[in-house]
Amino acid sequence: MPETIGFIGLGLMGKPMALNLLKAGHSLVVNSRSQGPVEELVSAGAARADTPEQMARQVTRLITMVPDSPDVELVLDGPHGAFRALQPGTIVIDMSSIAPAAARRLAARARSHGGVMLDAPVSGGDIGAKNGTLSIMVGGDAQAFATVRPILDVLGNPERVVHVGAEGAGQLCKLCNQMVIGGTLVAVAEALALARKAGVDAGKVREALLGGFAQSRVLEVHGARALAGTYVPGFKTALYAKDLNNVMSTLAEHSLPAPVTAVVQQLLHATMAAGRGDDDNSVMAQTVFDLAGLH
């Protein structure tokens, strides 16, 4: 019989993920800052825990899906955090996107409390969360990964659930993902800006480029959004900015120069400064268009 799972963080991503676990037959205990989604999950059959600590007493599989490193630290290692009551052998799966250094630190803390912790950030957005087709990048103990793999396969596309390496490797992989998306997005935006500025049909340029070596999912999906000027999330720029801050701190940790990523960071600051944090992260293309005097 599927295990009872604790689930902390019922936001834009967490709520549909938790619902998918219920649908797959798991018992759920849920906790979240906002009570609306908690009520919704309780109506759908989940139990409620008032604090992560109370939740930890009732489960040996615990998923966290919250915004950033300090949030994960609070729900796991804070005053009413899950670590205070961790059952022996509990596997904590943090699916938030946080700094790899924080993930390694928390994994060590989980171990000291008799548990094991995997970092398992996702890619694929709210649509992937709803459809259970997320990509999941996992770092941590291979045995624990094998144990919870059926749970991850409910949440993600099983072909895209990848054990990348040791503790923190999942988060590091996610940062690589965000670096590639950012650089590709700005390059695409600069190219589309050139087409527009030169009076060439940018839609036809996008179409022509999709047939060759310049093809990417970013050109396909974000390119279409940029040309339509429609930046409905999707994935909010403010959350992408959070990820890119984690990229920059991790690059600094390793003394790694990444000049294109550094430029992406500057354009992202400009995008946030223009008040576009709630738009889909493809809105960075609009910042490039603005720079070019295109509207």
Q: Which residue has the tokens 């670096």?
A: 179
Cα–Cα distance, 74 to 83 (Å, whole number): 10
Phi, psi dihedral angles at 216 (to 5 degrees): -160, 160
Q: Which residue has the tokens 């059926």?
A: 150
132 DSSP assignment? T
Q: Which residue has the tokens 């946080």?
A: 98
User: For residue 23, what is the enclosing H or E element?
Assistant: helix 14-23
Pick the closer one to its own copies by CB: 79 or 199: 199
Pick the closer one to its own copies by CB: 52 or 182: 182
Pick the closer one to its own copies by CB: 68 or 190: 190
Alpha carbon of 147 to those of 25, 61, 164, 188, 242: distances in Å? 17, 10, 16, 41, 31
Closest approach, Cβ 44 to its own copies, in A, equals 28
Cα–Cα distance, 155 to 24 (Å, whole number): 10
Cα–Cα distance, 213 to 150 (Å, whole number): 36
Closest approach, Cβ 197 to its own copies, in A, equals 5
Pick the closer one to its own copies by CB: 20 or 177: 177
Pick the closer one to its own copies by CB: 12 or 214: 214
Q: Which two tokens stand for residue 40?
A: 């919704």
Pick the closer one to its own copies by CB: 23 or 197: 197
User: For residue 272, what is the enclosing H or E element?
Assistant: helix 259-273
Cα–Cα distance, 187 to 177 (Å, whole number): 16
At 22 the three-state DSSP class reads helix
In the residue annotation, 236 being an active-site residue is answered as no
Cα–Cα distance, 213 to 230 (Å, whole number): 26
Contact in structure between 140 and 166 (CB atoms under 8 Å): yes
Closest approach, Cβ 276 to its own copies, in A, equals 18
Closest approach, Cβ 59 to its own copies, in A, equals 28
Q: Which residues partner with 176 through β-bridges?
A: none
Closest approach, Cβ 116 to its own copies, in A, equals 19
Closest approach, Cβ 110 to its own copies, in A, equals 20
Catalytic residue among 15, 130, 174, 242: 174
Q: Which residues are catalytic?
A: 174
